[in-house]
Amino acid sequence: MCGIVGYLGPKQAAPILLDGLRRLEYRGYDSAGLAVRDGAGDPVVVRAKGRLRILAEKTNGGDALPGNIGIGHTRWATHGEPSEANAHPHISLDASVVGVHNGIIENYQELREKLINNGYTYYSQTDTEVAVNLVDYYLKKYKVGPIDALAKTMVRVRGTYALAVMFRDFPGEIYAARKDSPLIIGQGENEMFLASDVPAILDRTRDVYYMGNLEMARVRQDGVTFFDLNGDAVPKPLTHIEWDAAAAEKGEFEHFMMKEIHEQPRAVSDTLHSFLRGGQEEAGIDLSDIGLPDERLKEFDSVLFVACGSAYHVGMIGQYVLEDLAGIPVRVELASEFRYRNLPVLPKTLCVVISQSGETADSLAALREAKARGLTTLGIVNVIGSSIARESDHVMHTLAGPEIAVATTKAFSAQLIACYILSIAMGRARGNLTDGAASQLTKELCALPGKIERSLEDKERIQWFATKFSGHRDAFFIGRGLDYVACMEGSLKMKEISYVHSEAYAAGELKHGTISLIEEGTLVVCVMTQSELFPKTLSNAMEVQSRGGYLMGLTSYGNYSLEDTADFVVYTPKTDPHFTVSLSIIPLQLMAYYVAVAKGVDIDKPRNLAKSVTVE
C-alpha cells in the first residue's frame, strides 16, 4: 500500500526522499509526490502519476528541489483515481499544512461536508486532503500548536492512518501521527528519517523507533519526541535493526522474488534454530522464551488460525499438522471473514494470527477481535515491531529477513516452520507425542534446509517447462490433503505474478463439476507427495489425462511410477509427511516465476497488488 518517507538533516532532502520511495516501491503504488522546504520557506510540492521515474524526471532526480526537510509518498489509490491531483502530498486551503497519509479515513465524507460548511474547498477526491484540512481547521479554531491540532484530528477521524505533516509556522519540524498503519522514525548522525518500513532507510541508519498506535511524534534534526493523545510525552526505546542494507538489495539476482526463493534454506534454518533450546537440535524445541512452556501449552483445548492470502494457506497447513500431531481441534479462518462473523469459540482457545508484515488490516482487526473475546493470542510475524507483533500476547518471530517481492516465498516457508514447531511443542505438552517422537520430528525439521537446497537444483528443467506453457490462459492444480494446500499456494503464486488464471482443486472434487473444463492441452499440475494418498490422486490424474489434459506431476523421489501417467514429472526429496509442503512449494514457486519471466511482466510488483495490505 502507500509508502511514506521523511527527512530532516544537513543534506538535500529530495534525492534522499526519492531514494527512500524507490525502496518502498515493492509496497505497490500508482503515483508519487514530494514536499520539500528550504529553511522557513513554504514547502514546494511536486506530484506525478505513474512510476517514480516520472517524479524523478520532473525534479531532476531531486536536485531541482532545494531544502533540507521534506516528506515523500507513493500512493496506492483508494479514494479517487490515480492522478496527479490525487497524488500526495496534500496541502490545506491556505497552505499552512502539508501532509502525506497511508490508510483510510472512513468518515471522510462527513468531515468533508463539515469543512465545506466552514469555507474549505477541495482540489482532489482524496480522504487525505480532508484530513490535512481538518488539522488546519483545529489549528486555527483553537489557536493551538501542531500536537494539539493533530490530537484533535485523531479523536475526530475514524479509520486507519500514518500521517507525516509539515506546518508552515513550524519550520525545522515534521510531525507524525499513527493509528494502525505502520510508521517508523530513524535516527542517524545529526539527521532523522521517517518511513513506512525499515528497508526505506536501512542504508542510512539501522537505529529506529517504532511509533505506537494513537501516538504522535515531533521530529527535529536533533531527535524525536513522542506524545500520547493527551499531549503527554511517551518514552520509547531505540531499536537496532540486525539486517544490513544488502538484505534489502537484489544482489546477483534479476528479481527480489528469485533472490528470496533462494534465501529459503536460510530463512527456514534461522527460524527453526531460534526455537531450539540453546539453538541445539539435540536440546529440542522450547517455547518458554515466548511465554508458552509446556505447562501453559497444555491448558488450551482448541486452536484458531486467522490470516489472509498465503498466510491463510499456512494456517490451513497448521491445521492439518496440529490436529495430527497434537490431537487438538483446530479451525482456520480468513481474517476478513472472521471479524464479521459471530464464530462461537471456546474460552481456552489459542488464537494464532499469521502475518509476514504484521500490518495486514484484516489480520490486525481479527487479532483485536480475538482479544476482545478473551482469547489468548499468538502472532507469527516476520516484521519486528509491527502492530501484530506488538499487540499479540505471545509472538513467534519468523527470521526470514526483509521480504521485498510482493509474492511471498521465504516468509511463507518460515511461517510453516513456526507452525510445525508449535505443533510438535503442543503434541509433546499434551502427551500426544512421546519425547522420542518429538525429537525425531525435530531432527527431520533440521534436515529441511538441505532438502530445500536440493529442490532448487532442478530449476532449469522447471524453467524449460514453464516457458513452454507460458502462453496458456488457464492452469489447474490438484492434490489431496496437504498436497491440496500446496496447490492453493502454487495457484495463488501463478495468478498473482504471471496473471495466468488458475484454480486449485481438491483432487477428489474435480469430478463433481470442474472436470468439465479439462480439454485437449489444458495444463494440470498434480501434487502427490503424500504416500497414503498417492494411489487415489493418481486415479484423478488419469481421469484428467484421458480427457486430454497435459499433466505435470510433482511427487517425492521414489514414486517413479508417475512417469507412466504424467507428461512431465518433478521430484522433491522425501521428508516426514507433515512437512512435505516445505518442499513441494519450491517447484511451484519456480514454475510461477518462470512463467512470469517468459511473459515479461513486472514480477516483484505485480499489477494492482501491494505487499502490505493495510486497508480492508
Considering only residues 30, 197, 333, 496, which one is a binding residue for ligand M6R as defined by CB under 6 A? 496
Choose the stretch contacting ligand M6R; rule: CB under 6 A; options: 214-222, 226-234, 306-314, 544-552: 306-314
Considering only residues 68, 187, 319, 357, which one is a binding residue for ligand M6R as defined by CB under 6 A? 357
Q: Which three cell numbers stand for residue 131?
A: 484530513
Cβ contacts of residue 319 below 8 Å, gap of 6+? 305, 330, 331, 332
Residue 112 or 262: the one with the smaller Cβ distance to ligand M6R is 262
- In angstroms, rounded to a whole number, what is the distance separating the alpha carbons of residues 570 and 269? 24
- In angstroms, rounded to a whole number, what is the distance separating the alpha carbons of residues 503 and 520? 17
For residues 286, 290, 295 and 300, what is the CA-based torsion angle, rounded to 10 degrees?
Answer: -120
Cβ contacts of residue 114 below 8 Å, gap of 6+? none
Residue 309 or 481: the one with the smaller Cβ distance to ligand M6R is 309
Burial of 435 (0-12, 13-18, 19+ CB in 10 A): exposed
What minimum distance in Å lies between the beta carbon of 355 and ligand M6R? 3
> Does 49 participate in catalysis according to the annotation?
no
Q: Which three cell numbers stand for residue 489?
A: 499456494
Considering only residues 96, 360, 376, 502, which one is a binding residue for ligand M6R as defined by CB under 6 A? 360
Choose the stretch contacting ligand M6R; rule: CB under 6 A; options: 107-115, 287-295, 402-410, 455-463: 402-410
Q: Which three cell numbers stand for residue 593?
A: 516465476
Considering only residues 12, 133, 160, 356, which one is a binding residue for ligand M6R as defined by CB under 6 A? 356
Nearest residue to 130 via CA among 143, 148, 141, 118: 118
Nearest residue to 503 via CA among 516, 514, 511: 514
Considering only residues 429, 613, 614, 615, which one is a binding residue for ligand M6R as defined by CB under 6 A? 613
- In angstroms, rounded to a whole number, what is the distance separating the alpha carbons of residues 507 and 105? 44
Residue 71 or 388: the one with the smaller Cβ distance to ligand M6R is 388
What minimum distance in Å lies between the beta carbon of 364 and ligand M6R? 9
What would the x/- binding string for ligand M6R be over residues 464 to 493, using CB under 6 A? Answer: ----------------------------x-
Q: Which three cell numbers stand for residue 393?
A: 500476547
Phi and psi angles of residue 522, each rounded to the nearest 5 degrees, phi first: -65, 130
According to DSSP, residue 461 is labeled H
- In angstroms, rounded to a whole number, what is the distance separating the alpha carbons of residues 504 and 487? 5
Q: Which three cell numbers stand for residue 424?
A: 510438535
Residue 105 or 405: the one with the smaller Cβ distance to ligand M6R is 405
Residue 213 or 434: the one with the smaller Cβ distance to ligand M6R is 213
What would the x/- binding string for ligand M6R be over residues 109 to 128, using CB under 6 A? Answer: --------------------
Question: Distance of CA 181 to CAs 2, 102, 157, 196, 381, Å?
Answer: 10, 7, 14, 8, 16
Considering only residues 31, 96, 126, 355, which one is a binding residue for ligand M6R as defined by CB under 6 A? 355
What minimum distance in Å lies between the beta carbon of 505 and ligand M6R? 19
Considering only residues 105, 311, 438, 528, which one is a binding residue for ligand M6R as defined by CB under 6 A? 311
Residue 264 or 540: the one with the smaller Cβ distance to ligand M6R is 264
Establish how many alpha carbons lie within 13 A of residue 197's alpha carbon, considering only the half-sphere containing its beta carbon. 31
Considering only residues 363, 455, 498, 556, which one is a binding residue for ligand M6R as defined by CB under 6 A? 363
Residue pair 48/86 in contact (Cβ under 8 Å)? The answer is no
Considering only residues 183, 406, 591, 615, which one is a binding residue for ligand M6R as defined by CB under 6 A? 406
| By CB under 6 A, residue 614 contacts ligand M6R | no
Choose the stretch contacting ligand M6R; rule: CB under 6 A; options: 249-257, 350-358, 478-486, 596-604: 350-358
Residue 30 or 496: the one with the smaller Cβ distance to ligand M6R is 496
What minimum distance in Å lies between the beta carbon of 535 and ligand M6R? 32
Choose the stretch contacting ligand M6R; rule: CB under 6 A; options: 10-18, 216-224, 406-414, 532-540: 406-414
Among all residues, whose Cβ is closest to ligand M6R? 309
Residue 316 identity (one-letter amino acid)? M
Residue 168 or 255: the one with the smaller Cβ distance to ligand M6R is 255
- In angstroms, rounded to a whole number, what is the distance separating the alpha carbons of residues 599 and 180? 37
Choose the stretch contacting ligand M6R; rule: CB under 6 A; options: 60-68, 305-313, 437-445, 459-467: 305-313
Residue keyed to cell 475514524? 158
Angle between helices 459-468 and 581-599 (to 10 degrees): 50
Q: Total number of residues binding ligand M6R (CB under 6 A)?
A: 16
Residue 378 or 492: the one with the smaller Cβ distance to ligand M6R is 492
| By CB under 6 A, residue 308 contacts ligand M6R | yes
Cβ contacts of residue 5 below 8 Å, gap of 6+? 16, 17, 20, 21, 24, 71, 72, 73, 193, 194, 195, 196, 200, 201
Considering only residues 186, 212, 309, 549, which one is a binding residue for ligand M6R as defined by CB under 6 A? 309
Choosing from 410, 493, 605, 611, which is the catalytic residue?
611
> Does 2 participate in catalysis according to the annotation?
yes
What minimum distance in Å lies between the beta carbon of 459 and ligand M6R? 19
Phi and psi angles of residue 276, each rounded to the nearest 5 degrees, phi first: -95, 135
| By CB under 6 A, residue 407 contacts ligand M6R | yes
Query: Which positions are catalytic?
Result: 2, 611
Contacting positions for ligand M6R (CB under 6 A)? 308-311, 355-357, 360, 363, 406-408, 492, 496, 612-613
